[in-house]
């Protein structure tokens, strides 16, 4: 094997990768939603470099597993410590208690390199929640560290006991990993996205670049062709991918193979394409790319928290620049001194300090968790408003439809006067869940009872699935059966956000992505079909109209307004509400003969032309659109005002 030399073109490729990620995360292009492929480029680079380092030392007979891990600690841990410390300090100053607790949990998982597992269980990378997760980007660091933990041991064993089978073994592992990725990307997309077993093939592609290039890439012409192919594959990924791309899956092949081609084309004097990446500014950005990656996401999310709807494109661009500046400082003051051994030069001392630092940081984060986010940092009224983020229904698990529930368990719970035979049948999505206490209070006041069931994200209409989620069809089929078997029910209350019908997220199959027009047409057909089915059973139908949404997370925004003194309008206008839901109200009018009554939250909240987000200084929503439980009495009274004639 050849001696591994410094490759400035690889640093340039790192720059491309990190800039793709930043442009994506800061949303600088408006329509560009493919920058996440930068992480895949990083994985290939990491796989190539780590394989090169380990195999070269194994061939020379001087590889030490302990030294390898210590070098990884020197390279990666100090900047991570610094980023976490800065994040903790800024969080102390501006994060409300609930968000500070979440940051603490994220910090513990990041420090222990299990963040990918944590986010696999809790977060959709492309979803609403991701915009509030300050350390979400550390999932990829966890994947790499888990790879670094097992890969050197595998190489050592194969190199010593079965050297001629080393590459076949790695090839088999890569194939298995890729097959797992394909198998899970549709059924369990979060697992495919976050976990090492479904990502290892990307790092192993980098490993094979080292093996293949040593044997085949000795032709200048081949290098030139390979370099052009590499650029083309990455450009296709950048221009062709978006938030609805089923990723990683087959689609991750393009950026990974593109990165592999560009790395391979840099051997034997390089190619025109690889030399493009050796421009000094690109090389410098690549050298500080780890620090850039560490700091950019917290900066972006803190700005989102603090500025809310004032976080304009120009300010996003400023935060982009600030990320580069802070990363440069982190690189020169922390990453380089520790990484090059200028600070804590002794290995034993380095390991001791690292272990102590991990313990201290985990303890510090644990104190925040056990202290409930240290609410004493803020005045009592601010803490009370912020605590509205936790003002959610705590329901019997039976209330949420579970497609995997054991046979015989009813797919519903009861509300109202539970001792009486149910007269109402209430079903819907998360907005039904949020309204449970209001509905329960309303029915109790009326001396009536009902059956209740919800499924997050699932509108109560027949014959539709969510893209990548087949549970909605099962939800509606099961509830239709329950309704048919419950003759005491006289009224059906359908509660939902309803806007999913105009968002290209519903489909005839969880494997099929429809256009927005196709999705809306499907909603129109199936909404009418559902109403006809229920009406044909002799049931009265009541529709809960969409709840007006807020521009941002209401408890956090209201609390920050009290702290900062800067007041901005968090509610939308009545005209915007009507315009967004025009398709739905059109459907209601077309099917008005089938509908007994409608409950309109907008009549309650938007009567002045501007929709309210708080009542008596307390948030109406525990996020940006789900009703707080504490105001259920208020909503029960409004329900009776509008639906009092429905018995």
Query: Per-residue pLDDT averaged across 418-442, rounded?
Result: 95
Q: Which has more confidence, 213 or 81? A: 81
Query: Per-residue pLDDT averaged across 370-383, rounded?
Result: 90
Distances in whole angstroms, Cα of residue 537 to Cα of each of 480, 484, 495, 524: 11, 8, 19, 21
DSSP annotation string for 573-592? BHHHHHHHTHHHHHHHHHTG
Q: Would you state the pLDDT for residue 645?
A: 83
First to last CA, the chain: 83
Query: Per-residue pLDDT averaged across 292-300, rounded?
Result: 96
Q: Would you state the pLDDT for residue 198?
A: 96
Please enumerate in sequence order all residues whose Cβ is within 8 A of that of 312, keeping only pairs 6 or more positions apart, or say none: none
Q: Would you state the pLDDT for residue 32?
A: 58
Q: Is the peptide bond before 623 cis (omega within 30 degrees of 0)?
A: no
* 491 neighbors 539 (Cβ within 8 angstroms): yes
CA-closest candidate to residue 17, choices 280, 209, 286, 269: 286
51-85 residue pLDDT tens:
999 999 998 888 999 999 999 999 999 999 999 99
Q: Would you state the pLDDT for residue 59?
A: 87
539-563 residue pLDDT tens:
999 999 999 999 888 998 899 888 8
Using CA of residue 331, residue 337, residue 338, residue 339, what is the dihedral sign?
positive
Lowest model confidence (mean pLDDT) among 37-41, 126-130, 234-238, 320-324: 126-130
Structure tokens at 103: 């940051």
221-246 residue pLDDT tens:
888 888 899 999 999 998 888 777 88
Task: Please enumerate, as own/partner, the contacts of 375-379 that have beta carbons within 8 Å and a separation of 24 or more.
Answer: 375/97, 377/92, 377/97, 378/96, 378/97, 378/559, 378/563, 379/562
Query: Per-residue pLDDT averaged across 259-270, rounded?
Result: 85
Say which residue the tokens 């041991």 belong to.
153
Environment class of residue 160 by beta-carbon count within 10 Å: exposed (0-12), middle (13-18) or buried (19+)?
exposed
Q: Would you state the pLDDT for residue 146?
A: 96
Structure tokens at 433: 């869940």
Q: Would you state the pLDDT for residue 31?
A: 57
Q: How far apart are CA 577 and CA 548, in angstroms?
A: 6
Q: How far apart are CA 551 and CA 580, in angstroms?
A: 14
Q: What percentage of the chain reaches a pLDDT higher than 70?
A: 96
Query: Per-residue pLDDT averaged across 310-330, rounded?
Result: 94
SS3 422: coil
Lowest model confidence (mean pLDDT) among 246-250, 327-331, 534-538: 246-250
Residue 151: pLDDT over 50: yes
Say which residue the tokens 């609410």 belong to.
375
Distances in whole angstroms, Cα of residue 58 to Cα of each of 47, 66, 145, 301: 16, 14, 20, 43
* 321 neighbors 303 (Cβ within 8 angstroms): no
The radius of gyration of the chain's CA atoms, rounded to the nearest angstrom, is 28
Phi/psi region, residue 585 (left: phi>0; alpha: psi -120 to 50; beta: rest), is: alpha
93-119 residue pLDDT tens:
988 888 899 999 999 999 999 999 999
Q: Would you state the pLDDT for residue 467?
A: 74
Query: Per-residue pLDDT averaged across 138-142, rounded?
Result: 96
- What 8-state DSSP symbol labels residue 469? B
Distances in whole angstroms, Cα of residue 371 to Cα of each of 97, 364, 581, 622: 9, 11, 42, 21
Q: Would you state the pLDDT for residue 126?
A: 46
> Where are the strands (E) in 557-626, listed by range?
597-599, 614-615, 618-619
Q: How many whole angstroms from its chain centre is CA 464? A: 24
Query: Per-residue pLDDT averaged across 356-360, rounded?
Result: 91
Please enumerate in sequence order all residues whose Cβ is within 8 A of that of 555, keeping only pairs 6 or more positions apart, or say none: 96, 385, 386, 387, 388, 389, 391, 619, 621, 622, 623
Residue 587: pLDDT over 60: yes
Structure tokens at 180: 């797992």
Categorize the per-residue pLDDT at 615 as very low, low, confident or very high, splitting at 50, 70 and 90: very high
Categorize the per-residue pLDDT at 584 as very low, low, confident or very high, splitting at 50, 70 and 90: very high
Q: How many whole angstroms from its chain centre is CA 376? A: 30
Lowest model confidence (mean pLDDT) among 119-123, 241-245, 590-594: 241-245
Q: Would you state the pLDDT for residue 134?
A: 94
Q: Would you state the pLDDT for residue 347?
A: 80
Q: How far apart are CA 64 and CA 67, in angstroms?
A: 5
Please enumerate in sequence order all residues whose Cβ is within 8 A of that of 531, keeping only pairs 6 or more positions apart, or say none: 541, 591, 594, 595
Environment class of residue 173 by beta-carbon count within 10 Å: exposed (0-12), middle (13-18) or buried (19+)?
middle
Query: Per-residue pLDDT averaged across 151-176, rounded?
Result: 92
Query: Per-residue pLDDT averaged across 262-284, rounded?
Result: 87
Please enumerate in sequence order all residues whose Cβ is within 8 A of that of 548, keeping only pairs 6 or more positions apart, or say none: 571, 572, 577, 601, 602, 605, 606, 611, 625
Domains and CATH numbers, the chain: 8-377 (no CATH), 393-643 (3.40.50.1110)
Provide the mean pLDDT of the chain: 90
* 491 neighbors 596 (Cβ within 8 angstroms): yes
Categorize the per-residue pLDDT at 349 as very low, low, confident or very high, splitting at 50, 70 and 90: confident
């Amino acid at each position: 094997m050849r001696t591994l030399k410094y490759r400035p073109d690889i640093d340039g490729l790192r720059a491309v990768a990190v800039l793709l990620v930043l442009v994506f995360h800061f949303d600088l292009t408006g329509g560009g939603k493919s920058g996440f492929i930068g992480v895949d480029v990083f994985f290939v680079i990491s796989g190539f470099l780590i394989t090169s380092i380990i195999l070269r030392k194994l061939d020379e007979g001087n590889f030490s597993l302990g030294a390898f891990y210590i070098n990884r600690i020197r390279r990666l841990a100090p900047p991570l410590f610094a980023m976490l410390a800065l994040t903790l300090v800024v969080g102390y100053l501006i994060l409300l208690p609930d968000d500070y607790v979440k940051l603490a949990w994220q910090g513990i998982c990041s420090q222990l390199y299990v963040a990918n597992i944590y986010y696999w269980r809790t977060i959709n990378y492309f979803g609403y929640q991701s915009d509030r997760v300050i350390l979400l980007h550390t999932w990829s660091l966890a994947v790499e560290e888990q790879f670094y933990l097992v890969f050197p041991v595998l190489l050592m064993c194969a190199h010593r006991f079965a050297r001629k089978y080393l590459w076949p073994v790695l090839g088999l592992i890569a194939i298995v990993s890729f097959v797992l990725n394909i198998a899970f990307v549709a059924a369990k997309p979060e697992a495919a996205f976050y976990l090492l077993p479904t990502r290892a093939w990307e790092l192993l592609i980098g490993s094979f670049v080292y093996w293949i290039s040593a044997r085949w890439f000795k032709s200048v012409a081949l290098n030139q062709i390979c370099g052009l192919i590499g650029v083309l594959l990455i450009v296709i990924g950048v221009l062709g991918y978006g938030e609805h791309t089923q990723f990683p899956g087959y689609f991750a092949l393009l950026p990974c193979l593109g990165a592999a081609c560009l790395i391979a084309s840099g051997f034997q004097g390089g190619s025109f394409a690889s030399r493009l990446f050796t421009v000094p500014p690109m090389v410098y950005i690549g050298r500080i790319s780890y620090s850039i990656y560490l700091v950019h996401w917290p900066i972006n999310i803190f700005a989102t928290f603090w500025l809310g709807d004032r976080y304009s494109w120009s300010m996003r661009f400023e935060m982009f620049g600030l990320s580069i500046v802070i990363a440069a400082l982190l690189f020169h003051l922390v990453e380089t001194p520790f990484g090059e051994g200028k600070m804590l030069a002794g290995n034993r001392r380095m390991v001791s300090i690292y272990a102590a630092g991990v313990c201290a940081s985990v303890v510090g984060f644990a104190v925040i968790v056990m202290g409930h986010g240290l609410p004493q940092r803020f005045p009592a009224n601010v803490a009370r408003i912020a605590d509205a983020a936790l003002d959610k229904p705590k329901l019997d698990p039976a209330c949420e439809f579970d497609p995997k529930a054991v046979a015989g368990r009813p797919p519903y719970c009861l509300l109202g006067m539970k001792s009486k035979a149910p007269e109402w049948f209430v079903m819907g999505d998360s907005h039904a869940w949020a309204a449970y206490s209001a509905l329960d209070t309303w029915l109790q006041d009326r001396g009536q009872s009902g059956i209740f069931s919800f499924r997050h994200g699932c509108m109560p209409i027949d014959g539709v699935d969510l893209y990548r989620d087949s549970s909605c069809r099962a939800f509606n089929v099961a509830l239709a059966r329950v309704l048919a078997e419950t003759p005491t029910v006289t009224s059906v209350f359908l509660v939902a956000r309803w806007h999913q019908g105009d968002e290209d997220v519903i489909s005839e199959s969880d494997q099929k992505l429809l256009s927005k027009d196709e999705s809306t047409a499907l909603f129109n057909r199936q909404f009418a079909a559902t109403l006809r089915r229920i009406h044909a059973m002799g049931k009265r139908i009541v529709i809960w109209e969409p709840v007006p949404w807020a521009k941002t997370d209401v408890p956090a925004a209201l609390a920050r307004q009290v702290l900062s003194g800067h007041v901005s309008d968090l509610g939308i206008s009545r005209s915007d509400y009507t315009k967004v839901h025009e398709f739905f109200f059109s459907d209601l009018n077309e099917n008005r003969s089938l509908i007994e009554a409608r409950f309109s939250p907008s009549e309650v909240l938007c009567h002045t032309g501007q929709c309210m987000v708080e009542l008596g200084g307390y948030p109406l929503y525990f996020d940006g659109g789900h009703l707080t439980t504490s105001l259920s009495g208020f909503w029960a009274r409004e329900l009776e005002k509008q639906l009092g004639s429905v018995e």
